[in-house]
Amino acid sequence: MIGGMNIAYRAWVVWAFGALSFSYAFFQRVAPSVMVVDLMRDFAVGAAILGNLSAIYLYAYAGLQIPIGLALDRWGPRRMLTGAAVIAAFGSTFFAISENISLAYFGRLLVGIGCAVGFVGALKLATHWFPTNRFAFVSGLTMFVAMLGAIAGQAPLAALVGAVGWRESMLIAAVFAAFLAVATWLFVRDLPPDEDRQVHGDGSQIPISTSLVRVLAGPQNWIIAIYGGAMTAPFLAYAGLWGVTHQMQLFGLDRVAAAGSNSLMLIGWAVGAPAGGWVSDQLGRRRLPMTGAATLSLLGWIILLNTPELSLALDRLLLFFIGATSGGMVICIAAARERAPAEVSGATTGFINMAMVGAGALMQPAIGYLLDNNWDGTIVNGARLYSLAAFDAALVTLPGCAILAIIASLIIPAKPKTR
């Protein structure tokens, strides 16, 4: 289909469809944040249960990262990305038509399964189609594209939900996933033309159990995973679910305006991820920029959550700043890949991504649990209303994660070991 393209241009086209799959995954990841009131009302649930409804996507996504990484090493990204998009289309449809919370859980579970291939698949394509010294930058660009999807899942989705309803909005998302499946099959190829699979680290000849052991046996992989999880969990918990509701309560904004504020964290991430990857590539170092990103993220959270009479302008500036510094987590993907044999690069990336998303999956309902514990009993239009005091008690966990990331970054050796 694209055999006549210049190889450099073709590389970008192939990568773009992988990145678009991850962008769709992020759209679905943050979509519940603009539907909190609707979902609590329609399913008659509180914050803890809603947190689990949102996080079940992340549970499926995180739990599949290592198996998907192994499968990508074995069978290639084209088939995996296409099949995953089909599953996501079915999941979004099922979620949209669910009439009770149990069925809604199942729909979100399918969406999480279908979206789980996007990031690792896109990076596997980047590994095959781009030189090693551009990997961190391309990883950052992948995050940039993902944030475009996340931004679409904020103010634009909030406006769509207000106009046609959340169920109809999720049906539209299902149609897009089906389109993505067809386009991926037509345009994506696993390898550049006339290239040997073994040159690119094909893992089809390595037993899956051996690949898994090689990934889990590396202590540096675990430290990098802790860093990635600690950097990503606050972002996924706030921007991915509770941020819109917090912004509405903090400044009395309507849903669309609050989603617009929350989008600034996503825009910051979109800028910070490729910028952090580029800086790290230029320096030829990983630990220093990782520590710097975590430190600046901690500073942003402290100011955001502890400034009396915070102005809306400063609030929005801080949301952008926290997103940009949190985007530095992309460097840890490059750090892990540099330590991994090429034939298990997909599995290694999957392991790190599992930790990042898994941490967010735990943080979303944890904040919901803390909100429920500090709820004063107020109900508005059939949904619980949480006070600023309740949010203050719940969101104190976010800077704690940044501290953990700083500690983890200081333990990682400055340069990968020579093999």
Nearest to 137 by CA among 277, 13, 336: 277
The answer to whether position 212 is within a domain reads yes
b vs e for 63-77, b when ≥16 Cβ sit within 10 Å of the residue's Cβ? Answer: bbbbebbbbbbbebb
What's the structural domain count of the chain? 1
Q: Give the model's pLDDT for residue 160.
A: 95
HEC string for 386-413:
CCHHHHHHHHCHHHHHHHHHHHHHHHCC
The answer to whether position 385 is within a domain reads yes
d(CA 81, CA 185): 8
Q: Give the model's pLDDT for residue 203.
A: 47
Q: Give the model's pLDDT for residue 332.
A: 86
Q: Give the model's pLDDT for residue 417.
A: 46
d(CA 3, CA 186): 11
The answer to whether position 201 is within a domain reads no
Q: Give the model's pLDDT for residue 320.
A: 96
d(CA 385, CA 249): 9
The answer to whether position 418 is within a domain reads no
CATH number of domain containing 305: 1.20.1250.20
Q: pLDDT tens track of the chain, all 419 residues?
A: 455 556 678 889 999 999 999 999 989 988 988 888 899 889 988 888 888 888 889 889 888 888 887 888 778 899 999 999 999 999 999 999 999 999 999 999 999 999 999 988 998 898 888 887 777 778 778 888 988 898 898 889 989 999 999 999 999 999 999 999 999 999 998 888 766 554 444 545 566 666 677 777 777 889 999 999 999 999 889 988 889 889 999 999 988 899 889 889 988 988 888 888 888 878 878 888 999 999 999 999 999 999 988 999 999 999 999 999 998 888 888 888 777 666 666 678 778 888 888 898 889 889 988 999 998 888 887 778 889 999 999 999 999 999 999 999 999 865 544 43
The answer to whether position 283 is within a domain reads yes
Q: Give the model's pLDDT for residue 58.
A: 84
Q: Give the model's pLDDT for residue 72.
A: 83
User: What does the chain come to in residues?
Assistant: 419
Q: Which domain holds residue 356?
A: 7-189+206-411
Q: Which are the contacts of 258, defined by CB distance < 8 A and separation ≥ 6?
A: 243, 244, 245, 247, 248, 251
**DSSP state letter for 310:** -
H helices present in 284-344, as ranges:
287-306, 312-326, 330-338
Q: Give the model's pLDDT for residue 208.
A: 60
Return left, alpha or beta for 108; rule: phi > 0 is left, psi -120 to 50 is alpha, else beta. alpha
SS3 237: helix
Own/partner pairs, 2-10, CB within 8 angstroms, 24+ separation:
2/187, 2/189, 3/193, 7/192, 7/193, 10/129, 10/192
d(CA 228, CA 360): 10
d(CA 19, CA 382): 39
Tokens matching residue 360? 């967010």
The answer to whether position 335 is within a domain reads yes
The answer to whether position 308 is within a domain reads yes
The answer to whether position 302 is within a domain reads yes
